[in-house]
Structure 1
Amino acid sequence: MMKNNNYKIKGCLLLFTLFSFMAVASNQVKGVRVWPSPDNTRVVFDMAAAPEHISFSLDNPDRLVIDLNNTTGSSSLPPLSGESALIKSIRSSGDANKMRIVLDLTKATKANVFALPPTPPYGHRLVVDLPDDQPVRNLPPPSIRAARDIVVAIDAGHGGEDPGSIGPSGFYEKNITLPIAKQLAQLIDRQPGMKAMMVRTNDYYLHVNKRTEIARGQQADLLVSIHADAFTSPQPRGASVWVLSLRRATTEVGRMLEQTERHSELLGGVAEIIKDSANERYLAQTVLDLSMNHSMVTAYQAANEVLQELDKIAYLHKREPQAASLGVLKAPDIPSILVEVGFISNPKEEALLKSGSHQSKLATSLFTALKRHFEKAPPADSLFAMQRAKEHRVSAGESLSLLAQRYNVSVDELRNVNQLTSDSIRIGQTLRIP
């Protein structure tokens, strides 16, 4: 009896080993998705199981080779989704237990190949990041001139293979944030004195650190990150606005001080004075602390304006700005706010957030709030600041004709720019001077 049991055990082990081998060897590529962005292309191979891979680059011509072990190979891949200027073609070859994939490239690039575990709605993936060696084009340093545009960096949350939260109907957060961001950018660009800069211009993935770097590279006066909230139950609803927590801000300032090679970038024009920022650490820290304080106050003020406008068109989940240690808010040198436009996990709000008309209302609401914020507290060298400076508060004994003579403009111009129906003005009234 003991001998028979040993045979049974050995037989079971053999069958287990065989089935395990067959399961591993049956891995295959189920889909290929290409996500291009301005300075990086991500290629995602959807796999049936966790991939075993090695990769290497070749030149003349430039190409990336990926060998997948224990993968059924064929001369054809699944239909390709997306395209990129970096990739000429993607081809494959192989046999019953190995597959070779070759990416023919238009130029050399330092590829990064790695596996990702299942994350709904995706299963196992093999990811290839192909950075473009063309640097992000930065705006020229602001010259000492008046009337510059206020730059608002607009970050559409998630994107590409990162769908964000998923609503009850299967709708993705990334498909809510991008349309709102694009409409907000259009409204800002139509406003004289303001300029929008889209952090993410299309449906592709950007690491959270890259988002703040892009905003900094464009010398943004404010970063607005748009998201949709979610919870494990469908009941929570409403919009909220988040700002950087003091603890996270202090930590990031410390990290900045350690990165001496970036001090000239982070300290701005003051870097011309603080030449040796490594040895003048306390002075550099003082400057960064002042920058952090200004950014946090500015962000809190902007957040309040946004909440005031959102309250007119949506239910508020939180009526005060909330402080958090969120990655996209981590830059203490850039005023940053994160706007949760509603709960995608709430069925009624998901339907509302999917609506084009509601998305337009949200974009308009955000624009109105940001415009009012910068009218109240404009950057010193901006057009908004110049317009605000050219205002006059009426004192006793002053008349419209007297002010027209003082500022060398006509009475009609004063009347028109201030939308006056008569020449009557009152003490304490603020007049814009054309």
Structure 2
Amino acid sequence: MQLVKSFQIMKNLVITILVIGSACVSAAIDVKNVRVWPSPDSTRVVLDLSKPVEYSYFTLNNPERLVIDLHDTKISAVLTDLAKDTNLLNTVRTSTPKKKGDARLVLDLNKKVEAMIFALKPTAPYSDRLVIDLVDSVAKVAHTKKQFKTDRDIVIAIDAGHGGEDPGSIGGRGNYEKRVTLGIAKKLEDLITKEPGMRAVMTRTGDYYLSVHKRTEKARDSDADLLISIHADAFTSPEPNGASVWVLNLRRANSEIGKWLEQKEKHSQLLGGAAEVIKNTTSERYLARTLLDMSMDHSMDQAHGVANSVLSELKSITKLHKRSPQAASLGVLKSPDIPSILVETGFISNLKEEKLLTNGWHQSRLANSIFKAVRGYFKHNPPDGTLFARTKNLKHKVKSGESLSLVAQSYNVSISSIKKANKLKSNMIRVGQVLSIPQS
């Protein structure tokens, strides 16, 4: 009898140990996946977690390494071939942790970097995440103030919305907004680059996340005359369709689509990492001060002018959701010294428009319409010191033996454009007459 009791006690003890051990195993946090998002001057490493994690980290030199200790964690993610597209990161691997039950992740680096690590709470479609941002500590962005020299280029900053961690809206066929926006942005860049007197600068050139502040900073560092943010709209139902152009409203949007757009921007910040937005309080103070300045009014007036020009061109190739510029309080539009517009090229949540937006031919038509609108606006409203400004004010004094066709040929413009610019009713011109030469 005593033997049976002893056996029963031992059995219960074993069961208890097994249950406790099982609980300990199930309590461990799992690194389910590791993703790497390279960009030209930084690399983001994202750990997808089963639950929130406690962590600590330190760096080692010769060679450069970033070591991250994860408390009560196991790593089931595959770590091979993660660093093939980044010049900052060599390998991602595990190492022996300091404490049993923990996990140690090592990032072997190709050069010295500045690391910023922060946790993100679940935001659909992602679970808990730990984000490691690696920034090249020696890479410096050269920035010079605008030089008001003669014949400078008009600089257009092109912002492809979303990217990396933040896919933007997802269409019914599974297409990501971030890919649509980058496709249109690259086509627009190509058109602007080929135009004499204009230069394009892309805020992002690949599939990686950029905060709102980084986007406007890149535009400012390039001395941009205009910022165009390219997006594809979405709504809670598939019915809405058509393109629209948005400008800054210092108050909240009063339309349902506008409110949805503002909510979507906040969601994008959470997807990509709100820590950088929260951290950048200096920019917020700068904005708060500058909003009182007249430069904001000037930028907003210019933005409205460009927006109307873009809508006028878009209506010839696609349906418009709204025929006048719409207003919302969107971060990418808040640069006080740069006129900024946001172009919603169509609704990716509408199946018909989703198909169009992913079509290269339609993307080219959208890019061409935006380009023609922007070029046309700046030809009529050229910034001081630009090639556009000089050619707009070009005058020609007619000499003996010159005809209207000869003058037109000399400036590579049409006879009809000279007649229109000078309100001529015939091709007859006289010696000593001063003609305005329109831009070609």
TM-score normalised according to structure 2 size: 0.78
Determine if the alignment matches structure 1 residue 419 to structure 2 residue 423.
no
Aligned to 2:423: 428
List structure 1 runs of 4+ shifted beyond 4 angstroms: 13-20, 73-76, 254-259, 408-412, 421-427
Deviation at 1:75, TM superposition (A): 11
CA contact (8 A) 2:421 2:436 kept: no
Q: In 1, Cα distance between the equivalents of 2:153 and 2:421? A: 33
Aligned to 1:8: none
SS at structure 1 position matched to 2:206? coil
Cross-structure match for 2:169? 165
Deviation of 1:14 (Å): 11
CA contact (8 A) 1:33 1:82 kept: no
Partner of 1:128: 132
Given that 1:73 and 1:93 are in contact with CA atoms closer than 8 Å, whether structure 2 keeps it comes out as no
Q: CA deviation at 1:49?
A: 3.2
Q: Is the 8 A contact 2:42 2:133 kept in 1?
A: yes
Which structure 1 segments of 5+ residues have no match? 1-12, 249-253, 260-265, 267-283, 393-402
**What is the deviation of 1:411?**
5.3
Q: Distance in 2 between matches of 1:322 and 1:65?
A: 48
Kindly indicate whether the alpha-carbon contact (under 8 Å) linking 1:166 and 1:344 is maintained by their aligned counterparts in 2: yes
Deviation at 1:36, TM superposition (A): 1.6
C-alpha deviation, 1:366, in angstroms: 0.6
Distance change (3 Å), C-alpha of 1:147 and 1:94: same
Q: 8 Å contact 1:29–1:78 — kept in the other structure?
A: no
What does residue 272 of structure 1 align with? none
- Picking from 87, 90, 106, the partner of 1:102 is 106
The CA RMSD over aligned residues, in Å, is 3.4
Q: 1:225 deviation in Å?
A: 0.4
Structure 2 vs 1, CA of residues 426 and 125 (structure 1 numbering), >3 Å: closer, same or farther? Answer: closer
- What is the CA distance between 1:315 and its match in structure 2? 1.2
Secondary structure of 1:405's aligned partner: coil
Equivalent residue runs for 1:232-243 within 5 Å: 232-243=236-247
Report the Cα distance in structure 1 between the residues aligned to 2:244 and 2:57, rounded to whole angstroms.
44
Q: Tell me: CA distance 1:135–1:334, structure 2 relative to 1, closer, same or farther (3 Å).
A: farther
Secondary structure in 2 matching 1:349: helix
Q: Could you say if the C-alpha distance between residues 389 and 107 of structure 1 is closer, same or farther in structure 2, counting changes exceeding 3 Å? A: same
Residues 24-58 of structure 1: per-residue CA shift (max 9 Å, x gap): 31x33332222122222101122333333222222
Aligned residues of 1:39 and 1:134 also touching (Cα < 8 A)? no
What is the distance in 2 between the residues matched to 1:106 and 1:313? 48
**Helix, strand or coil: the match of 1:340?**
strand
1:373 and 1:422 map into 2 onto residues whose CA distance is: 17
Aligned to 1:60: 62
Q: Which residue of 2 aligns with 1:312?
A: 316
Following TM superposition, by how much is the alpha carbon of 1:122 offset from its aligned partner in structure 2, in angstroms?
2.9
Among 142, 147, 168, the alignment partner of 2:146 is 142
Q: Report the CA distance shift for 1:31/1:425 in structure 2 as closer, same or farther (over 3 A).
A: closer
Tell me the residue number matched to 1:45: 47
Question: Alignment partner of 1:236: what SS?
Answer: coil
Q: Which amino acid aligns with 1:154?
A: I
In the alignment, the residues of structure 2 paired with residue 48 and residue 433 of structure 1 have an alpha-carbon distance, to the nearest angstrom, of 64
CA distance in 2, matches of 1:319, 1:423: 32
1:404 aligns with 2:398: yes
Structure 2 residue runs without a partner (length 5+): 1-15, 253-280, 425-434
CA contact (8 A) 1:42 1:129 kept: yes
CA contact (8 A) 2:117 2:132 kept: yes
Partner residue, 1:5: none
| CA–CA separation in structure 1 for the residues paired with 2:134 and 2:35 | 13
Identity %: 51
The separation in 1 between residues aligned to 2:22 and 2:154, in whole angstroms, is 63
Aligned counterpart, 2:199 = 195
Residues 308-347 of structure 1 correspond to what in structure 2 (within 5 A)?
308-347=312-351
Question: For 1:18 and 1:404, how far apart are their aligned partners in 2?
Answer: 97
Q: TM-score, normalised by structure 1?
A: 0.79
Aligned residues: 383
* Structure 2 residue 36 is matched with structure 1 residue 34: yes
State the one-letter code of the partner of 1:24: A
The CA distance in 1 between the partners of 2:422 and 2:75, in whole Å, is: 84
